[in-house]
Amino acid sequence: MMAVVVASLVIARAPATAQSAAGPRTAWGDPDLQGVWDYWTFTPLERPEEFADRDQLTAEEAAVVAQRSNAEALARDEPPPPGDVGGYSQAVWTDRARATALTQPSLLVDPPDGKLPAMTAAAQARAQADAAAGGYPVRLRVGGINEDGPEARGAAERCLLGFSTGPPMLPAGYNNNVQLFQAPGWVVLLNEMVHDVRVVPLDGRDALPSNLQQWLGSSRGHWDGDTLVVETTNFTNQTGSFNTSFVSWGSAEHLTLVERFTRVDADTVMYEWTVNDPNTWTQAFTGQFPMLRADEPLYEYACHEGNYGMQNLLSGARAVERTDTTQP
């Protein structure tokens, strides 16, 4: 689903404790979070140095961030050199054509400086050992260590996970949409990017056994007042403790992720997430941003147009090897 709108949208951040006491309810009485929600914004993950001592921007400053980021993205839309088919047009195929930013200077709201905390010494040592041993497993979403085989490429390139869907969800190039469904005792989160689905029971059942790990973990939910709280554990060590599209930190096998969804008005759900992984990070950290109602439905995302991208990447690498006269 894509909307190409070049305009500045500035949204104030609601406090983390916001409650939608008068919000809509389902037929069985739960707060109604159903619908398609858009979480695109140019607001960066970490607080820029120019706003180092600020936890709130003016609407004018946020508009400047949006327009500057939009201009930088569109500047990359130059014609490709001869023989290069180029990438996606930023002005047509990505959400970067929408100049939107928040009045909060970063998606991270805790630690108070808006920066990721330091990794533990043990996690840094593990990362160095993994790199020295060849770089496997590849926990990136986009990118890889070589073209030897599919295992050398990131999970999004392999169509296993989306590059913006996490969990936690983070704004990225395009398809920044999630649809929430509800039934008595259940919530379903469907992300457009690589059609990732999490089915979340609300009946208090235990998580899966610790030895059963999944790409999206094991999610369990409950209501805290009018806020849906989803706690996810049982992540696999094949993914990072935390990922952006192009960077991955640590291993997720000991991660506990807590997400909070609060309906603050008819067109907004406040989304908050906390990463707690003492095996990777020296402290837990929290991000928060609004998700806006989208009027369009979700459309199927056919990863790599049926995953021909991976086949072509690997076959191209083999063709290069066959013509490389420097190889024995």
Q: Which helix (H) or strand (E) holds 131?
A: helix 121-132
DSSP 3-state assignment of 310? Answer: helix
Question: pLDDT tens digit string along 113-162?
Answer: 999 999 999 999 999 999 999 999 999 999 999 999 999 999 999 999 99
Q: Is 83 exposed, middle or buried (0-12, 13-18, 19+ CB in 10 A)?
A: exposed
pLDDT at residue 25, as a whole number: 96
CA 321 – CA 94 distance, rounded (Å): 33
* Beta carbons of 66 and 10 less than 8 angstroms apart: yes
CA 17 – CA 105 distance, rounded (Å): 19
The more confident residue out of 265 and 8 is 265
Nearest of 35, 155, 42 to residue 94 by alpha carbon:
42
Average pLDDT, the chain: 89
Q: Would you give the DSSP letter of residue 149? A: S
The more confident residue out of 183 and 89 is 183
* Beta carbons of 196 and 163 less than 8 angstroms apart: no
- Dihedral sign of CA atoms 119, 122, 123, 128 in order: positive
CA distances (Å), 30 to each of 10, 24, 178, 186, 216, in order? 30, 9, 19, 11, 25
Each domain of the chain, given as residue ranges in start order, spans 25-40+108-323
Question: pLDDT tens digit string along 28-80?
Answer: 999 999 999 999 999 999 999 999 999 999 999 999 999 999 998 888 776 66
pLDDT at 8 over 60: no
User: 17 pLDDT band (50/70/90 cuts)?
Assistant: very low
Residue 196 identity = D
Question: pLDDT tens digit string along 218-269?
Answer: 999 999 999 999 999 999 999 999 999 999 999 999 999 999 999 999 999 9
pLDDT at residue 308, as a whole number: 82
